[in-house]
Structure 1
Amino acid sequence: MKRSRRHRAATLAAAAATLLAATTAGAAPSTASSGAPHPTDHAQRAGIARGGDAFMGWSQDSTTAAPTQKQAADASTLAAATQTPGIDVSKWQGNVDWASYWSQGKKFAYVKATEGTTYQNPYFAQQYNGSYNVGMVRGSYHFALPDNSSGTAQADWFVDHGGGWSADGKTLPGVLDIEYDPYGATCYGLSQAAMTSWIAAFTSRYKARTGRDAVIYSTTSWWTTCTGNTSQFGATNPLWIARYNTTPGTLPAGWSYYTFWQYSDNPVDQDYFNGDLAGLQRLALG
Structure 2
Amino acid sequence: MAVLRPGSIRSPRPRPLAGLLTALLAALSLTLPLTSAHAATTPSRGSAYLGIGVLAHDGRNGTPTTGDATQTEGVDVSAYQGNVAWSTLWNSGVRWAYTKGTEGTYYTNPYFAQQYNGAYNVGMIRGAYHFATPDTTSGATQANYFVDHGGGWSRDGRTLPGALDIEWNPYGAACYGRTAGQMVSWIADFVNTYRARTGRYPVIYTAASWWTQCTGDSGAFAANSPLWIARYAADPGTLPAGWPYYTMWQYTSSGPTVGDHDKFNGALDRVQALANG
Q: Which TM-score applies when normalising by structure 1?
A: 0.80
Find 1:103's aligned residue among 76, 91, 107: 91
Deviations 1:170-212 (A, max 9, x none): 0000000000001110000000000000000000000000000
Q: 1:52 to 1:273 in 2, by over 3 A?
A: same
Instruction: Tell me, yes or no, if the aligned pair for 2:194 and 2:200 is still in contact at 8 Å.
Output: yes
Tell me by how many angstroms 1:260 deviates. 0.5
Deviations 1:66-116 (A, max 9, x none): xxxxxxxxx98xx83210001000000000000000000100000000000
Instruction: Tell me, yes or no, if the aligned pair for 1:62 and 1:243 is still in contact at 8 Å.
Output: no
- Identical counterparts, % of pairs: 57
Instruction: Tell me, yes or no, if the aligned pair for 2:133 and 2:176 is still in contact at 8 Å.
Output: yes
Find 2:200's aligned residue among 212, 217, 225: 212
- Check if 1:133 corresponds to 2:143: no
Instruction: Tell me, yes or no, if the aligned pair for 2:53 and 2:169 is still in contact at 8 Å.
Output: no
Deviations 1:4-25 (A, max 9, x none): xxxxxxxxxxxxxxxxxx8543
Q: Which TM-score applies when normalising by structure 2?
A: 0.82
Provide the secondary structure at the position in 2 that maps to 1:59: helix
Find 1:266's aligned residue among 237, 254, 262: 254
- Check if 1:281 corresponds to 2:272: yes
Q: Which residue is equivalent to 1:55?
A: 49
* Amino acid of the structure 2 residue aligned with 1:272: K
* Amino acid of the structure 2 residue aligned with 1:263: Y
**2:171, 2:99 → 1: CA distance?**
21
Specify the structure having the higher radius of gyration (Cα). Answer: 2
Instruction: Tell me, yes or no, if the aligned pair for 2:208 and 2:238 is still in contact at 8 Å.
Output: yes
Q: Which residue is equivalent to 1:72?
A: none
Tell me by how many angstroms 1:26 deviates. 4.0
RMSD over aligned CA atoms reads: 1.9
Q: 1:105 to 1:197 in 2, by over 3 A?
A: same
Find 1:153's aligned residue among 138, 141, 144: 141
* Amino acid of the structure 2 residue aligned with 1:247: D
Instruction: Tell me, yes or no, if the aligned pair for 1:62 and 1:245 is still in contact at 8 Å.
Output: no
Deviations 1:123-168 (A, max 9, x none): 0000000000000000000000000000000000000001000000
**1:81, 1:208 → 2: CA distance?**
34
* Amino acid of the structure 2 residue aligned with 1:153: T
Q: 1:183 to 1:285 in 2, by over 3 A?
A: same
Q: Which residue is equivalent to 2:107?
A: 119
Q: Which residue is equivalent to 2:9?
A: none
**1:119, 1:130 → 2: CA distance?**
21
Q: Which residue is equivalent to 1:14?
A: none
* Amino acid of the structure 1 residue aligned with 2:183: M
> How many residues are treated as equivalent by the alignment?
238
Instruction: Tell me, yes or no, if the aligned pair for 1:192 and 1:228 is still in contact at 8 Å.
Output: yes
* Amino acid of the structure 2 residue aligned with 1:275: G
**What does 1:1-286 correspond to in 2, within 5 Å?**
23-26=33-36, 42=41, 44=42, 48=43, 50-60=44-54, 61-63=58-60, 80-267=68-255, 268-286=259-277
**1:210, 1:26 → 2: CA distance?**
44
Instruction: Tell me, yes or no, if the aligned pair for 1:84 and 1:275 is still in contact at 8 Å.
Output: yes
Tell me by how many angstroms 1:265 deviates. 1.2
Instruction: Tell me, yes or no, if the aligned pair for 2:75 and 2:97 is still in contact at 8 Å.
Output: yes
Provide the secondary structure at the position in 2 that maps to 1:250: coil
Provide the secondary structure at the position in 1 that maps to 2:87: helix
Q: Which residue is equivalent to 2:4?
A: none
**2:70, 2:137 → 1: CA distance?**
39
Gaps of 5+ in 1: 1-21, 30-39, 65-74
* Amino acid of the structure 2 residue aligned with 1:189: G
Gaps of 5+ in 2: 1-31
Q: Which residue is equivalent to 1:37?
A: none
* Amino acid of the structure 2 residue aligned with 1:196: V
